[in-house]
């Protein structure tokens, strides 16, 4: 499992090769995405919305994440498997270690946590115990009620500066990757250039080191509100395999995301 190592993904940044990541929640889709050349698969806590039907990601439990991570892991041969630590499961360092341990034992090869420099000690302690960490910055959905909605972050200079400094601090603490969600592309570009670790964007423009999408958005089956930054790759291909291949291709050649998927 996970023949594509973290080292491989980090080398892709150095070589200017774009990284394609997508979410998966079960073995069948995970295997298909893996077959079509996706570099990394994320078991996102977005499953609270797209699988469980909640309006946000807060009700997702560690048990839920362990269950889906184990299922996805059975379908993955090559892609780097990342799992989200859900809401309130890393509010202190001890909980973070116990819960990250469960995700890693279920087959994750990296865990993702939402937040800024206050997580530096958590990142260090996870690393000391052998757990690679991806830091999620910008629109961190677990803070939706703090933000007052799923709103773009970093539009004003002060908040942009804040996000930039959180990214640097988390890299310095040992984070091996960053996901940057819903920020203006100018800020995403600045952070991507400043960091040596890969920056994966979602709604962050085309200048990051890679992209991630929620799988239901990528094949255009999300009901209700579909975020502006997502694209239905099934529409032009009529076939899920071809849709994912097209996603990987358009990430690689910079066709996705286009201006219409980007915030300024
Ligand atoms: N289907 C799906 N796709 C996602 O990308 C996603 C989830 N679910 N669930 C978990 C989080 C929540 N996410 C979201 C949800 C909504 C917006 C949204 O409404 N964005 C507005 C921007 C609003 C503004 O202008 O500030 C948009 O127009 O896209 C963004 C991210 C991203 N994640
Ligand atoms: C949208 C991505 C980055 C995520 O965190 C998730 O799917 O939960
Ligand atoms: Mg998430």
> Ligand 1 test: best mutation among 227, 228, 257, 262, most atoms within 8 Å of CB?
227
- Average pLDDT score over the chain: 97
What is the 48 CA–ligand 3 centroid distance (Å)? 9
- 208 Cβ closer than 6 Å to some ligand 2 atom: no
Say whether 36 counts as a known binding-site residue: no
Question: Do 45 and 67 contact (CB within 8 A), yes or no?
Answer: no
Of the CA atoms within 13 Å of residue 216, those in its CB half-sphere come to 19
pLDDT at 84: 99
Reported as a single tens digit per residue, the pLDDT across 120-173 is 999 999 999 999 999 999 999 999 999 999 999 999 999 999 999 999 999 999
Is the distance from the beta carbon of residue 212 to the nearest atom of ligand 2 less than 6 Å?
Answer: yes
Annotated domain spans of the chain: 6-261
Which of 138, 263, 134, 136 lies closest to 206, judged by CA? 263
CA-to-CA distance for 137 and 112, rounded, in angstroms?
10
With a cut of 0.90, is the ipTM above it? yes
| pLDDT, tens only, 117-134 | 999 999 999 999 999 999
Compute CA distances 58 → 23, 28, 53, 101, whole Å.
Answer: 18, 26, 12, 21
Whether the pLDDT of residue 202 is over 90: the answer is yes
The reply, when asked if residue 193 is annotated as ligand binding, is no
Domain 6-261 has CATH 3.20.20.60: yes
pTM given for the model = 0.97
CA-nearest residue, atom 2 of ligand 2: 44
Regarding the beta carbon of 40 and ligand 2, being less than 6 Å apart is answered: no
């Amino acid at each position: 499992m996970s023949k594509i190592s973290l080292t491989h993904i980090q080398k892709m940044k150095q070589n200017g090769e774009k990284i394609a990541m997508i979410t998966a929640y079960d073995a069948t889709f995970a295997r298909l995405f893996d077959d079509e050349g996706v570099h990394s698969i994320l078991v996102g806590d977005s499953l609270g919305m797209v699988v469980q039907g909640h309006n946000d990601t807060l009700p997702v439990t560690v048990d839920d994440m362990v269950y889906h991570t184990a299922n996805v892991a059975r379908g993955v041969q090559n892609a780097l498997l990342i799992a989200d630590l859900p809401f309130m499961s890393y509010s202190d360092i001890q909980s973070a270690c116990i819960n990250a341990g469960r995700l890693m034992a279920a087959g994750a090869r990296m865990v993702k946590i939402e937040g800024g420099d206050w997580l530096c000690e958590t990142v260090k302690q996870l690393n000391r115990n052998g757990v690679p960490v991806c830091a999620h910055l910008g629109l961190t959905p677990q803070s939706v009620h703090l933000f007052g909605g799923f709103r773009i972050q970093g539009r004003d200079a002060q908040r942009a500066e804040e996000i930039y400094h959180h990214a640097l601090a988390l890299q310095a603490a040992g984070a091996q990757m960053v996901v940057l969600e819903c920020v203006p592309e100018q800020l995403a570009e600045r952070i991507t250039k400043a960091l040596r670790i890969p920056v994966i964007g979602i709604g962050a423009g085309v200048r990051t080191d890679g992209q991630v999408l929620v799988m239901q958005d990528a094949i255009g089956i999300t009901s209700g509100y579909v975020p502006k930054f997502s694209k239905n790759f099934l529409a032009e291909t009529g076939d899920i395999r071809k849709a994912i291949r097209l996603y990987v291709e358009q990430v690689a050649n910079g066709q996705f995301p286009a201006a219409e998927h980007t915030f300024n």
